[in-house]
């Protein structure tokens, strides 16, 4: 046969690269393919790429008789990638005869193999016995195996809210009070996007907590509530950076708190999915000068760089649905209008100058809010900032044809916000009155 010539290695010595070239070129294989034995022989090659493409081609034959060959090969092959291709070949047969082998593979030490076996077995999930085997993996130590099993068998969560609407009582609403108390009055699944910068731990006069632990607990509770009021699959962009508490005397050193890192693991536990971390890069002169002392003494260990970055952690409320499910809920013209214009950020380092405000000591630059709001919401959406401060998130929301919901504890800032926006305002008692 022609194919015989295409592999072209019988009785001849060929270089690995020639063999590989032939293996990659083989394309579709027909049932009459005669060189199966050559492919099986090549499974003994020292070259892992040759072994990979041999399996890849054997899989195209969809021949149940190869099951034993695959099983023996899996037992001796050490490369994860080649073993994965083999397990995938077994699954792709979609043959009941492969079920005992796939069931055996569920006990493999490599999660990639287990996942391929799960995929293969899912074809037969209507068979009670196989369903039971798969369900028994519910608490498998590997998180991806767990996720697949949960989506397939245990996802009973009901999210009722639609994405192209939100409660009217939150439309352009600013509420004065403690965010945790205020959110008690807000319905589940109300907001599309949250962008916020929490108060600093004892770094400014408006934020006094009696310990770092109580500060973290406050943030966790807040973001648990934010999670509850966020629509399924939507985003929270959290801006924090490590802070320094200056030393209390010459005998003591200053303490640096890695806030983004300390918040993170709890965010995952409460159901946020980590998506990205964006670095907000500021010009060096805008940072506190920490390197000056080192500049004079140059002694190792006492090196302290100027901190010119802040982190924007991008989280998504966990969902088993793909982003497409959200796109489909918006009218086409809204999706079209919301498309992001040329000149968008292509890397996760955003160079933006800080802003200042005569009334507030830590404000977001509007340019930063514009980017976050445009990249992570649609026109007409409701954007929330639990720590509104000077209201930059609200201003940017309006500028970008979105709506805002802001909460702010400080009465003076609230008064300034009222003057600035002067629209549909609620105080802490009235929130929810229009429900």
Ligand X SMILES: C[S@@+](CC[C@H](N)C(=O)[O-])C[C@H]1O[C@@H](n2cnc3c(N)ncnc32)[C@H](O)[C@@H]1O
179 lies in the binding site for ligand X (CB under 6 A): yes
Number of residue whose CB is nearest ligand X: 389
Q: Which range touches ligand X (CB under 6 A), out of 1-9, 53-61, 313-321, 389-397? A: 389-397
**Cβ atoms within 10 A of the Cβ of 350, count?**
17
Record the tokens describing residue 31, joined without a space. 């049932």
363 lies in the binding site for ligand X (CB under 6 A): yes
396 lies in the binding site for ligand X (CB under 6 A): no
Q: Which of 392, 394, 404, 421 binds ligand X (CB under 6 A)?
A: 392
**Cβ atoms within 10 A of the Cβ of 425, count?**
16
Q: Which of 315, 390, 404, 431 binds ligand X (CB under 6 A)?
A: 390
C-beta closer to ligand X: residue 39 or 179: 179
Q: Is 403 helix (H, G, I), strand (E, B) or coil?
A: strand
Q: How far is the CB of 212 from ligand X (least distance, A)?
A: 16
89 lies in the binding site for ligand X (CB under 6 A): no
Cα–Cα dist 372/354, whole Å: 15
Q: Which residues have C-beta within 8 Å of that of residue 381, sequence separation ≥ 6?
A: 166, 192, 193, 402, 403
Q: Do residues 280 and 311 lie in contact, with contact meaning Cβ atoms separated by under 8 Å?
A: yes
409 lies in the binding site for ligand X (CB under 6 A): yes
Residues 184-243 that bind ligand X (CB under 6 A): 197, 199, 206-207
**Cβ atoms within 10 A of the Cβ of 335, count?**
15
Q: At what angle do helices 411-421 and 392-399 cross, to 10 degrees?
A: 20
Per-residue binding string, ligand X, 128-167, x by CB under 6 A, is ----------------------------------------
**Residue 351, CB-side half-sphere exposure with 13 Å CA sphere:** 2
C-beta closer to ligand X: residue 227 or 360: 360
Q: Which of 166, 280, 387, 405 binds ligand X (CB under 6 A)?
A: 387
Per-residue binding string, ligand X, 410-429, x by CB under 6 A, is x--x----------------
C-beta closer to ligand X: residue 370 or 408: 408
**Closest among 155, 115, 156 to 137, alpha carbons compared:** 115
Q: What is the largest CA-CA distance in the chain?
A: 89
Q: Which range touches ligand X (CB under 6 A), out of 16-24, 241-249, 334-342, 387-395? A: 387-395
Q: How far is the CB of 73 from ligand X (least distance, A)?
A: 58
Cβ-count burial 72-103 (b if 16+ within 10 Å, e if not):
ebbeebeeeebbbbbbbbbbbbebeebbebbb
C-beta closer to ligand X: residue 7 or 186: 186
Query: Where does this chain bind ligand X (CB under 6 A)?
Result: 178-179, 197, 199, 206-207, 360, 362-364, 386-387, 389-390, 392, 407-410, 413
């Amino acid at each position: 046969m022609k194919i015989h010539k295409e592999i072209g290695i019988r009785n001849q010595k060929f270089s690995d690269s020639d063999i590989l070239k032939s293996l990659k070129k083989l394309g579709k294989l027909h049932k009459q393919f005669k060189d199966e034995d050559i492919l099986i022989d090549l499974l003994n090659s020292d070259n892992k790429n040759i072994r990979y493409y041999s399996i890849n081609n054997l899989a195209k034959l969809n021949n149940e008789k190869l099951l034993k060959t695959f099983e023996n090969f899996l037992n001796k092959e050490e490369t994860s990638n080649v073993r994965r291709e083999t397990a995938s070949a077994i699954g792709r047969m979609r043959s009941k005869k492969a079920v005992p082998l796939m069931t055996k593979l569920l006990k493999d030490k490599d999660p990639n193999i287990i996942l391929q076996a799960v995929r293969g077995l899912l074809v037969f999930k209507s068979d009670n016995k196989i369903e039971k085997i798969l369900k028994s993996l519910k608490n498998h130590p590997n998180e991806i195996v767990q996720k697949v099993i949960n989506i397939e068998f245990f996802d009973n969560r009901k999210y009722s809210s639609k994405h192209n609407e939100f409660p009217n009582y939150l439309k352009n609403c600013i509420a004065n009070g403690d965010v945790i108390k205020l959110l008690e009055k807000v319905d589940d699944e109300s907001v599309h996007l949250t962008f916020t910068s929490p108060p600093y731990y004892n770094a400014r006069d408006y934020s006094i907590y009696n310990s770092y632990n109580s500060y973290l607990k406050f943030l966790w509770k807040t973001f648990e509530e934010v999670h509850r009021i966020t629509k399924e699959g939507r985003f929270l962009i959290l801006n924090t950076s490590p802070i320094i508490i200056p030393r209390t005397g010459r005998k003591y050193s200053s303490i640096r708190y890695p806030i983004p890192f300390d918040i993170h693991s709890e965010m995952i536990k409460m159901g946020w999915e980590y998506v990205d971390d964006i670095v907000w890069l500021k010009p060096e002169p805008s940072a506190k000068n920490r390197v000056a002392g080192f500049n004079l003494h140059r002694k190792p260990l006492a090196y302290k760089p100027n901190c010119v970055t802040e982190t924007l952690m991008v989280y998504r409320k966990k969902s088993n649905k793909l982003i497409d499910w959200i796109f489909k809920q918006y009218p086409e013209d809204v999706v079209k209008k919301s498309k992001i214009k040329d000149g968008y950020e292509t890397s996760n380092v955003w160079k933006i100058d800080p802003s200042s405000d005569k009334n507030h000591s830590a404000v977001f630059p509007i340019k930063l809010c514009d980017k976050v709001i445009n990249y992570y919401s649609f026109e007409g959406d409701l954007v929330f900032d639990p720590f509104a401060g000077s209201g930059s998130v609200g201003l940017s929301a309006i500028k970008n044809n979105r709506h805002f919901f802001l909460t702010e504890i400080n009465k003076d800032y609230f008064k300034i916000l009222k003057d600035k926006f002067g629209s549909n305002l609620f105080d802490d008692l009235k929130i929810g009155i229009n429900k």
